[in-house]
Structure 1
Amino acid sequence: MSSRSRNTAPTVRSTDPRRDAGTWSISTTTAARGSWPSTPDSLPIIGPVPGADGVFAASGHGMLGLTPAPATAQALAALITTGSAPVDLAPFEVGRFGRRTGAAQVAARFEQGN
């Protein structure tokens, strides 16, 4: 998982030791922190969670953040309400990582009372 988010803060400094008006420069400082949810293959997880009826996932968009949110929401909403998505979600299925991983594993533990 990558750990980055960007905060940019402009810094204004005088280029003249006497701080003469009109001789200012502006530079930008960037810092990184936080977490980006990502997957081993860098593709998001979108669709039903195997072994957990009625549970759907939409995560792992990595550094794209909220950029793909409208398209993801539209596809997932259609899948939930009609049973069919307007695009092929096969490349984004959680099952591509193995039979019982992630949320499905948590759901299985919950069902067993653990």
Structure 2
Amino acid sequence: MAWLALFFAGLFEIVWATAMKQSEGFTRFWPTVTMVVGMILSFGLLAWSMKVLPLGTAYTIWTGIGALGAFIIGIAYFGEAFSFARVTAAVLIVCGLVLMKISTPA
């Protein structure tokens, strides 16, 4: 159950990061509200998962999900650069997440 909570914490990290971009420096109300709610849910689920999972594992996977998701959203919705080097970096992040998951005791 902690892994599922951590996964959703990572998804909510993507939500709040995207909403922060859309808030235009906290000048738009609804994106700012979405960001705050996303942060509360993300941090709450992360904290809950850390009751069971090791700190290093939980935090690394949480930030990795958020980084990868923000990378994809940035390309798909904000027209950010799509290059071999950036995709390679994203693939390396995924490899690190998989290695972190399989090297953590059950």
Q: TM-score range by the shorter chain?
A: under 0.3
Higher percent of residues as helix: 2
Higher percent of residues as strand: 1
Pair member with larger Rg: 1
Larger RCO (alpha carbons 8 Å, 6+ apart): 2
TM-score, normalised to structure 1, is 0.25
TM-score, normalised to structure 2, is 0.26
